Structure formats: structure tokens, C-alpha cells
Chain A
Amino acid sequence: MSYGQSVPPTTNLDSASGLPLHPAAREALLTAVDEGWADPSRLYASARRARQLLDGSRAAVASVLGARPEEITFTSSGTSALYEGVRGLASARARVGRHVVHSAVEHSAVLHAVASLDTSVVGVQRSGAVVASEFAAAVREDTAFGCLLAASHEVGTLQPVADVAERVGSVPLLVDACQLVGRAAVPAGWSVLAASARKWGGPTGVGVLAVRTGVRFAPGWPEDEHQHGRWPGPPPLPLLLASAVALEAAVMESAQEDVRLRGLVDRIRAAVATIPDVEVVGDPVSRLPHLVTFSCLYVDGESLVRALDAEGFEVSSGSSCTSSSLEPSHVLVAMGVLSHGNIRVSLSRTTTADDVDRFLGVLPGIVADLRAQAGV
């Protein structure tokens, strides 16, 4: 341990990777640890209390998603919800075929889950959005389902989910809404939807799998009394309550936060665009309110992340040098935008205008220094 050293205050600008528990969720979590320990399926008072908390949590999440409570299954993460969504649809629709249409910018969890199926990949425009008619045109007679994320986790661009759903008709659409729920209105048209509590200020360890009534979906587990075979075992009640409370808080704050964060993101977009040879990527308007991505020519992403960290700013990068593989981000490649020198900034309810100004104060100098080191 060192003392007396001057350490800059840490400003996390990576809420899209994870964010601290919402204070209301923290309180709910502690309450539920005390009050929600009983098995909700038993017939005594403590169990009834637990049942109430479980039903309330499910109803709250359902309401935000525009779903019915019985359509909601709680899983262990957004990733497991996506895996289970792909598996359940593929299995239920096996007789139709094993062909899947998905966008080129899906989360890697979806790409992994569909890897063993026969896939058609729909490209995106420079903005990162698919063209709805192109997605629909990729559907074949043996298409089991389509996958389209609601909003890109890397660049924030919204996808035309409702339009695509309408065009593909009876083909079910799996919508990865992990980055969108709690930030923007959930689009209509999903057949199966996945979301993640930690992305909206809830605890890690809770995912949501929503399956519309009437959509053929094969349970992947022995059917126990907990979640009808869609997810095994007793759900972690305190975590679910905290997730539901965090979501309700996020939605309640979202009208104000939407305006505030869009303003801050617009400020970042404008300031970053004045740095020479920096490209802001993603749709400038049809996007998530809190997320902005840009790429700096001649700079490597890892050095940029480390230099910003040394100044107290925590951001993520889609550049290949920051990933475990040598491959650049498949999202940036699909968009045809520069993959090196890439930075994703994502804001949260605790991000202030001062944080953004201080970030914008150090960024141009860091980029210039790194370029000078590279000899350009």
C-alpha cells in the first residue's frame, strides 16, 4: 500500500459493461435477504411472503417488457437467456428447419449459440443498422427463427426490430435487448426476448428470458415446479427483487436521464469530431441515449485505454489489441469503420457534465501524444 500519492479520482465511463447497483436495488436486496428466504411454493406465512416478492418482481419486469408475467423466466445472466432462447427456438422449430437469419452485429453470445445451425448473416449499413427488407429477404422456407439485437452494445445504434418482425411474419424473432432495457422503450415484435439485470443497475446473476404466449418453445430442463422447465431450480429471490426494483427505478428516471445523457453524448460527439482523424461511429440520432463510440486513426486501442486509465477514466475498446484474439470487433468490421484506436464511452446515472468535460479535456492530448510516439 502506498500513502500520500496523488491518484486522480476514478471516473467509470463503461456502464455498458456493468454499473454499480442502483441505490434502491441495494436496499431492496438487503430487505429481501431478510424477508425472502423461504421457499415460495410452501403453504405457510414466510412462504407466502416470498411468493409475493417473486410474483411482484416478475410482474414488474413483465410490465416494462410489455409482456405477461407468465411469459417471463429468470435465468442467471443475459448470456444464458440468449443461449436458452436460441436452444428453445431451434429445438421447437426443428421440423421447419435449422436455418437462422441474424444480423452481422449480434452479441458474441448469439453468434456462439447459433454456430452449430445453418445461418444467413445480414450485413449492416455504415450506421450499424440492418435494412429491414434485407433481413426479411434472407428468410427461407426452412428458417427456424431470426435473431436481431434491439440496440448494439458496441455502437448504440437501434435496429428496426418492429419493422423486421412485421416483414418476417410468422417466423419467430429472438431479440437481444440486453443493452436497451431500462434505457429506451422496448420495441414491439419480439417473440423471444433476452435482457440482463446488471445492464440496468440490478445485480449480476440475473437474466430475463421472455417467451410470447403462443410461440413454440421447447423447455430445455426437466419440468420442475419453479419455472416450468425453462430454467431449473429455485430462483434467487433477493436478486430478482433487487433487479425488479432497479428496473422500475431506471424506467422512472429514464425520461429525464434520456434527455440529460443524450446532451452529454452529443457534447462528446461534437468535441471528439474536432480531433483530427477521429471518426465517431454509429447512428447519430437513432441510438441508445448513453453510449458513444469513436475510432482514432494511428493509435492503438490498448494504449488509449491504458492512457485514459492513468488519467482516471475507465472506458472499453473494440480494437483487436484489447481482445483475447487478434480479431478486431466483428461489429466495427461489419460497419466498415476503423477498428483500431477504438473507444466506447457509456454513461450512467452518476456521470456528471463535469466528468464529461474532464474526459474531453484530456483526450486530445493523449491522442496527440500516442500519435507522436508512433511517428505520425
Chain B
Amino acid sequence: MKTLDCLGRRCPVPVIELAKALPNLEVGDLIEVLSDDPASANDIPAWCRMRGQGFEGGSAPSYLVRRLS
């Protein structure tokens, strides 16, 4: 599983980095996003919903996202 280290980066950087990393994943792959920004707990799942990707859970500082499309 790939890990995206966004520790210390302020919102919306973690979501931007997640969007950039997505094309490098196979559909069905999981990626772990490391983020200690308080907004990530809300904005990573919101991004998944808006972009049709899978939020697989997690809490600060580790979130799991699955590429669905």
C-alpha cells in the first residue's frame, strides 16, 4: 500500500496531493494519507464523495482511500 505523507501540511494541501497521487494507483488500490491537519478528517471523506472514490475510514493522522474509478 502506498503512503502519502502530508504531515505538517495545511488544508487543502493533503487533498491536492491525494488528487495528484490518484492516477498512479490501480483501480481497487488503497492509499494511506498521513495528515495532522484538523480539516482532513472532514475534507478527505468529502473529497472521496465528490470524486466518487472510496473513503475506507481512519482518523488523524492516518486515512485510507481506495481508488474506485
Q: B-contacting residues of A (Cβ < 8 Å)?
A: 277, 279, 297-300, 319-321, 326-328, 332-333, 336-341, 374-376
Contact = CB atoms under 8 A, between A and B. Distances in A.
B46 A375 contact: no
A298 B15 contact: yes
Contacts of A321: 10-11
Given A336-B45, A340-B39, 16 more contacts: A279-B50, A297-B12, A297-B19, A297-B47, A300-B11, A319-B39, A320-B11, A320-B37, A326-B37, A327-B38, A328-B11, A333-B41, A336-B42, A337-B46, A338-B50, A339-B11
Nearest to A332: B42
A337 B45 CA distance: 9
A374 B12 CA distance: 10
Contact of B39 (A299, A320, A336, A375): A320
Contact of B46 (A299, A339, A376): A339
Contacts of B45: 336
B16 interface: yes
Interface residues of B, number: 19
Contacts of A327: 38-39
B56 interface: no
Nearest to B36: A326
B29 interface: no
B33 to A, nearest CB: 14
Contacts of A299: 12
B26 interface: no
A298 B42 contact: no
17 contacts: A297-B47, A298-B12, A298-B16, A300-B10, A300-B11, A320-B11, A321-B11, A327-B39, A328-B38, A328-B43, A336-B46, A336-B49, A339-B11, A340-B12, A340-B43, A341-B12, A374-B16
B43 A338 contact: yes
Of A277, A279, A338, A376, which is in contact with the most chain B CB atoms at under 10 Å from its CB? A338
Of A277, A338, A340, which is in contact with the most chain B CB atoms at under 10 Å from its CB? A340
Contacts of A375: 16, 20
Interface in B46-67: 46-47, 49-51
Of A279, A297, A376, which is in contact with the most chain B CB atoms at under 10 Å from its CB? A297
A39 B52 CA distance: 65
A124 to B, nearest CB: 14
A101 B39 CA distance: 26
A368 to B, nearest CB: 15
A292 B15 CA distance: 24
Nearest to A295: B46
A123 to B, nearest CB: 13
Ordered nearest first, which 9 A-B pairs have the shortest CB separation? Answer: A340-B12, A338-B46, A328-B39, A333-B42, A320-B39, A340-B11, A327-B38, A298-B16, A339-B42
Interface string B11-34: 110011001100000000000000
B38 to A, nearest CB: 5
A169 to B, nearest CB: 35
A333 B10 CA distance: 17
A342 to B, nearest CB: 10
A341 B50 CA distance: 14
Contacts of B42: 328, 332-333, 336, 338-339
Nearest to B45: A336
A319 B42 CA distance: 11
B38 A298 contact: no
B15 A297 contact: yes
A341 B38 CA distance: 15
